[in-house]
Amino acid sequence: MSRRQLHIGLSLTPTWMRGAAAWGPGAPEDRDPVAFHLRLARAAERACLDFVFKPDTLAMPPARAAMPRALAGLDPTLLLAALARETEAIGLVTTLSSSFVPPYLAARQIQSLQWLSGGRAGVNIVTSIEGAENFGADPMPPPDLRYRKAAEFAQVLKALWKSYPAQALDEAGACAPIDHRGEFFEVGGPLNVPTHEAGPPALFQAGASETGRDFAASVADATFAATPDREAGLALRTDLRRRAAAHGRDPDSVRVLPGLYVFLARTREQAFAEHRRAHAHLTEDARRAAVRTVLGLDLGALPAETRIGPEMLPPDDAPVRSRTHADLLRRYIVVHRPRVDELLARPEVVGSAHWVSVGTVDDVLRDVFDWFEAGALDGFIALPGGSEGSLHLFLEELIPALTAAGLFRRTYDGTTLRQHLRLG
């Protein structure tokens, strides 16, 4: 048995629900967004997960307007601050956009969450792919520019977190300005919130494009990755560890945590039925449109049995919504030359390019063990799908099974997120 253990987080996104019909009658507190997320956070804490993670977007897709109130897009940092006072040990990872949020404000918010939670804060730095219209900005700049800005953002964030050391509370003059003057930001400092004894908040990053990988390898403690298959996970983890070493970092300090979209049920037949039901709303026309959006490839009226080869792909530099998802789908086509119907069933088309595991608890347990032993991950961020029953099976049966196999903790052996992630 491997001596390493998994790091596991739970995404605070109700991926088992689709619209009001899927919501069901539910409990009254599920109409309250704070109560709803607190219920999930407490369940994750009972399972001794490393953290809960709240993704975010700074735009309002029309489809979200019809969602129940409990799914309202509350500011994730404020939401986690509320959860911090009602939980004791689980890590709390929020999301901030380096494209829109000033680094001084971000540093203050996250350092405040570190204090409110007793050292359990983390932040996922995203560059955003939409939302410019809400900030009086021009259309979103290209990815390379966004990641250059993100790298400087992270540099300023870390400097500000160090600028007001804890001993400054007792020693006059211990604070120091950072006097940062860079390409995108000018920040004097110091921060007006002191460091916490637990150390700096943990940094997460979610990009897996070429520039995203280099950014993650240079600063991130953990990378939330979209890896639809084991080979993609292994390639990404190997590459991030190599890049981390090139940046002078210990490769073992980098945690690669793919998203795991898991559909659990008592039988395989039930699990696969849940998976089909979760994507039944996506017509073939919608899936073909998704291929155009993700990859820039127009399938037109090609029959289902037509093979799609690399010669049919648009140029590498063709504009796409997300370079990460486009690169993953390109790789799949180059390696497998899939039929049209196979392509239309891919996670990158029907979902968000995350690893999908469907079956019983034993099936998914073998899947996780296979990826872990192959070196394709250090853990994962769970997105339970299908039904709320899948969530319960994940927390109440899959996690104990991982514990029994020696792959996960039985109890918390620390009280901070850095301790859970075994970061120095």
State pLDDT tens for residues 235-279: 999 999 999 999 999 998 889 999 999 999 999 999 888 888 888
| pLDDT at residue 168 greater than cutoff 80 | no
Label residue 27 by pLDDT band (50, 70, 90): very low
State pLDDT tens for residues 335-363: 999 999 999 988 778 766 789 898 999 99
Both 118 and 228 in one domain: the answer is yes
| pTM, to two decimals | 0.87
DSSP conformational letter for 29: G
Last residue of a domain, one of 326, 344, 362: 344
pLDDT at 346 (0 to 100): 81
Cβ atoms of 51 and 93 closer than 8 Å: yes
d(CA 254, CA 245): 10
Both 206 and 292 in one domain: the answer is no
Both 260 and 292 in one domain: the answer is no
Both 247 and 305 in one domain: the answer is no
Both 246 and 368 in one domain: the answer is yes
Both 367 and 298 in one domain: the answer is no
State pLDDT tens for residues 123-163: 999 998 888 888 886 788 888 899 999 999 999 999 999 99
Both 329 and 243 in one domain: the answer is no
Cβ atoms of 16 and 385 closer than 8 Å: yes
Last residue of a domain, one of 344, 365, 387: 344
Both 103 and 143 in one domain: the answer is yes
The answer to the question of residue 364 being in a domain is yes
259 in helix, strand or coil?
A: strand
The answer to the question of residue 278 being in a domain is no
The answer to the question of residue 87 being in a domain is yes
Both 222 and 314 in one domain: the answer is no
The answer to the question of residue 222 being in a domain is yes
Angstrom distances, CA of residue 192 to CA of 47, 158, 163, 367: 36, 14, 9, 47
Average confidence (pLDDT) over 161-190: 87
The answer to the question of residue 279 being in a domain is no
| pLDDT at residue 326 greater than cutoff 90 | no
The answer to the question of residue 319 being in a domain is yes
Both 260 and 290 in one domain: the answer is no
The answer to the question of residue 273 being in a domain is no
The answer to the question of residue 380 being in a domain is yes
Total domains in the fold of the chain:
2
Last residue of a domain, one of 299, 314, 344: 344
Both 296 and 391 in one domain: the answer is no
How many C-beta neighbours within 10 Å does residue 370 have? 12
State which residues form the domain around 309: 284-344
CATH number of domain containing 96: 3.20.20.30
